[in-house]
């Protein structure tokens, strides 16, 4: 299965063939897809699939044994090898891309281990191992908006996972292992600001994120602090 979003996160509409159907679960698998499957803290894409029989809704997109599965509202009389047009709910996905890129920037500003995170439409969060309470909300908001305004380019590259073993400092998340496919790992580079393994979708340039507001910094137990992040548009 070709993941179209890995090379171009801006594909909103694409053609594909149905590769597999599980009728009782209303699950569809395509031969190639621009629908992002829920993983690494980023929610799965929603949208629409157009077929000869009409339109069906994509309610969610999930990963199952490394396959990308669309959960749809109606299976109709779909069959394997049918041609379809997939349409991503772009409003939702673009917000996730902005949020996701902003979380990378947040990570680059705070030199602490990341213990968890979740991307959302209205609000996202990252949890840090911060027993000494070093994180300062106002300082964080100023720094992240400066990085956004600097208009850094966001690019991806694929490397052998053995290289990563020599540079373990690249893996910032303590709870999530980077996605590895056939011994290779995808890295996301934000200018000279951040470099880390990631399988998600990001904007091409930090200025697309717009102004970020840092919400509450919450204490989660003795060690962890949660930074909440909101988009202004």
- Residues near Zn ion (CB under 5 A) are 198, 200
Cα 90 → chain centroid: 14
The smaller minimum CB distance to Zn ion, of residues 49 and 110, is found at: 110
The smaller minimum CB distance to Zn ion, of residues 86 and 200, is found at: 200
The smaller minimum CB distance to Zn ion, of residues 105 and 198, is found at: 198
Reduce the DSSP state of residue 206 to 3 states and report it: helix
The smaller minimum CB distance to Zn ion, of residues 69 and 198, is found at: 198
Nearest one of 29, 33, 32, 13 to 85, comparing CA atoms: 13
Residue in the block written with tokens 């772009």: 90
Yes or no: say if 17 and 82 are a contact pair by the CB < 8 Å rule: yes
Reduce the DSSP state of residue 30 to 3 states and report it: strand
- The residue whose Cβ lies closest to Zn ion is 198
Give the shortest CB-198-to-Zn ion separation in angstroms.
Answer: 3
Cα 158 → chain centroid: 17
Give the shortest CB-218-to-Zn ion separation in angstroms.
Answer: 23
Give the shortest CB-133-to-Zn ion separation in angstroms.
Answer: 26
Give the shortest CB-201-to-Zn ion separation in angstroms.
Answer: 8
Give the shortest CB-194-to-Zn ion separation in angstroms.
Answer: 9
CA distance 115 to 59: 29
The smaller minimum CB distance to Zn ion, of residues 72 and 164, is found at: 164
What is the 8-class DSSP label of residue 178? Answer: P
């Amino acid at each position: 299965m070709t993941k179209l979003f890995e090379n171009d996160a801006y594909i909103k509409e694409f053609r594909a063939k149905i590769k597999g159907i599980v009728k009782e679960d209303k699950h569809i698998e395509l031969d190639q897809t621009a629908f992002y499957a829920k993983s690494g803290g980023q929610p799965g894409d929603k949208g629409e699939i157009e077929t000869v029989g009409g339109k069906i809704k994509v309610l969610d997109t999930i990963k199952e044994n490394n396959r990308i599965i669309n959960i749809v509202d109606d299976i109709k009389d779909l069959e394997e090898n049918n041609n379809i047009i997939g349409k991503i709910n772009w409003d939702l996905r673009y917000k996730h891309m902005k949020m996701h890129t902003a979380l990378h920037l947040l990570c680059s500003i705070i030199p602490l281990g990341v213990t968890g995170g979740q991307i959302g439409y209205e609000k996202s969060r990252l949890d840090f191992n911060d027993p000494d309470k070093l994180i300062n909300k106002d300082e964080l908001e100023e720094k992240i908006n400066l990085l956004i305004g600097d208009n850094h380019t966001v690019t991806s590259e694929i490397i052998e996972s053995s290289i990563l073993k020599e540079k373990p400092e690249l893996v910032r998340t303590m709870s999530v292992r980077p996605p590895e496919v056939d011994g290779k790992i995808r890295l996301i580079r934000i200018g000279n600001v951040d470099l880390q393994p990631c399988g998600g979708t990001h904007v091409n340039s930090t200025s697309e994120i717009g102004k970020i507001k840092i919400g509450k910094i919450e204490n989660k137990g003795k060690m962890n602090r949660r930074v909440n992040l909101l988009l202004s548009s």
